[in-house]
Amino acid sequence: MKIPKAIILLLIICGFMNKLTAQNKESFDDRLFSKYLIEATGEKISGNLYLADSLYKKCLKINPNSGVVNYELSGIYKNLEQPTVAVEYAIKAVEISNENEWYLVHLALLYKDLENHKKSSETFLKLTEKSPEKVSYFFSLAEELIENNKYKKAINILNIIEGKIGLNEDLSLEKHKIYIYLKKYKNAIKELEKIIENEPDNLRTIGLLAEFYENINKPEKAKNLLDHMMEIDSSNGLVRLSLFQHYFKEKNILKSYQELQFVMKSKEVNENLKEQIILQISYDKYSPFNSLQITKLAESFLLSHKNNSPVLLLMGNLKMMTNEIDTACHYLRKSLEINSSSIEAWIQLISASLSRSKFKETIKDANNAIESHPNQPFPYLALGIAFYNNNQAEKGIKVLKQGKDLVIEDEILESDFLYELGNIHYNQNDIDESFNYFEKAIGLNPNNYILLNNYSYYLSLTKTKLNRAEELILKVLSKFPNIATYNDTYGWVLFQQKKYALAERAIFKAVMYSNEESGEILEHYGDVLYHLDNKDGALLFWNKSKKTGDYSMKLIQKISENKFIE
């Protein structure tokens, strides 16, 4: 049954009035004070803190020595997130009613919230003196002493608590940590030994003691304890984790790896800790474990934790390293389905699909990436390229323009967008618009040699601005003189300029550098030989081009008619 609000209010006020009588013998208007107090408390219960504050302050004007009013005002200002004012009223309440234990608790907690651990510990000390039977005050005092770096005093209080409640594992562990900080290692060991003596099969504490011996460079004692843990429960993952740490520190990599295999399959070691270990040994450049070992550990981990995004992402990276691209993409997608926040993972996935001409996959992945990262330009770039290659040129142009507008202070990336727009427009036979985009792209990134080569080649094919085409390809060749494609482009520019002898030299280099494997280059060489009146040579290279399967639509006509076809 719900107690009516009015009854609750009446009971509260009755309690207040009893306190008022005891704390203030001076005469004041009881009736008016009570009226404001009842109204203020009612407004506070209703959540009208500002009105309650105003009414309580009217109470103080009538009786400034009211402990309960100062206490209530302190509570209001705490709720209003004005802790300094709250402390001022709490101090007044304690000064007026120094026997009121609850006021003192309230003040101690306010100091704690303000991280004034000195004042908080002083106040909790008063509470332990006032009510020594309440162990909770001693716990709070110890906590605040630790926060205030008063470790020796904290140890004394923890010993008092132990005397009151008996041997306690958490208490001993806390003292163990403090003794380590104070470099009192013998005392630190004794605290753990007390627990083990009381609970001989306590694996957690035995493990902590073994770890401590490792840390103070006493590996033999650590190993003895670890062997004892194995006798108690060799199937326990936490035991095997301790062995892994021991062997790893001893640089016994084989045994540490064997223990880690067990750890990854165990149920006792929680997922977060296993994840932390496997990521650390994977991304640490000094890790003694190779990629195959890490892959096996990750696979074992994922058998129990199939939806762990960071380890799925790790598996994707590992499979990329071994060129298992399809498998890598599978892991990357699964990781991103769980946690889509990594734009680097999206870029890796999208790039892998795009580089293998899997345009439908690229479209799907890029759209998902844009949904998660709508302001990141790269997915738009990939999506635009994929749309065009999937016979959706208009969509490609639209997306590339959207993405370009997202680029901020990155001339290289903006140039890439312009280059791809130029490519699409060129293949749609919108030559002027295409060349306009290429020029803008070069203006932003004049050292994109693929762009320079392709634009030069397109100029040669359209017999447009051949001097500009020659200028561009010569810049490329000054950097990469032995690339077949670039020599072929230069030769074709010279061919269009009717400089056939020079063209023959350039394209011959291309033939040599390509090991006669490029049908396009072989066909070009046949074309230039024809113009040098070497028709037999032309026919020979046209037939070589035909055998590669990579040739122009006019090649068969050239061969059948034994002449160059424009």
* Structure confidence by residue, pLDDT tens digits, 192-212: 999 999 999 999 999 999 999
| Residue 566: per-residue pLDDT | 86
64-77 residue pLDDT tens: 999 999 999 999 99
Can you give the pTM of this predicted structure? 0.73
> Considering only 19-33, 47-61, 126-140, which range has the smallest mean pLDDT?
19-33
- Decide if pLDDT at 24 tops 90: no
For residues 306 and 315, is the Cβ–Cβ distance under 8 A? Answer: no
Single out the residue of 207, 113, 212, 124 nearest to residue 161, CA to CA. Answer: 124
- Looking at residues 468-496, what average pLDDT do you find? 97
Band of residue 551 on the pLDDT scale cut at 50, 70, 90: confident
CA atoms within 13 A on the CB side of 339: 12
- Looking at residues 293-298, what average pLDDT do you find? 96
Band of residue 6 on the pLDDT scale cut at 50, 70, 90: very low
334-370 residue pLDDT tens: 999 999 999 999 999 999 999 999 999 999 999 999 9
Single out the residue of 542, 547, 496 nearest to residue 517, CA to CA. Answer: 547
Band of residue 30 on the pLDDT scale cut at 50, 70, 90: confident
| Residue 52: per-residue pLDDT | 92
Helix (H) or strand (E) holding 440: helix 431-444
424-463 residue pLDDT tens: 999 999 999 999 999 999 999 999 999 999 999 999 999 9
Task: Give the total residue count for the chain.
Answer: 566
For residues 148 and 118, is the Cβ–Cβ distance under 8 A? Answer: yes
For residues 305 and 274, is the Cβ–Cβ distance under 8 A? Answer: yes
Query: Which string of DSSP letters, residue by residue, matches 152-200?
Result: HHHHHHHHHHHHHH---HHHHHHHHHHHHHTT-HHHHHHHHHHHHHH-T
Record the tokens describing residue 61, joined without a space. Answer: 């004007």
- Decide if pLDDT at 2 tops 90: no
- Reduced to 3 states (helix: H, G, I; strand: E, B; else coil), residue 492 is helix
CA atoms within 13 A on the CB side of 254: 0
Q: What CA–CA distance (Å, rounded) separates 509 from 477?
A: 12
Q: What are phi and psi of 246, to 5 degrees?
A: -65, -50
Band of residue 29 on the pLDDT scale cut at 50, 70, 90: confident
- Looking at residues 294-316, what average pLDDT do you find? 96
- Looking at residues 106-115, what average pLDDT do you find? 95
Q: What CA–CA distance (Å, rounded) separates 85 from 98?
A: 19
Q: Mean pLDDT, the chain, as a whole number?
A: 92
149-184 residue pLDDT tens: 999 999 999 999 999 999 999 999 999 999 999 999
Band of residue 27 on the pLDDT scale cut at 50, 70, 90: low
- Decide if pLDDT at 10 tops 80: no
Single out the residue of 114, 113, 115, 107 nearest to residue 125, CA to CA. Answer: 107
Q: What CA–CA distance (Å, rounded) separates 170 from 185?
A: 18
Q: What CA–CA distance (Å, rounded) separates 238 from 221?
A: 18
- Looking at residues 302-316, what average pLDDT do you find? 96
| Residue 28: per-residue pLDDT | 64
500-523 residue pLDDT tens: 999 999 999 999 999 999 999 999
- Measured CA angle at 307 (ends 305, 313), to 5 deg: 105
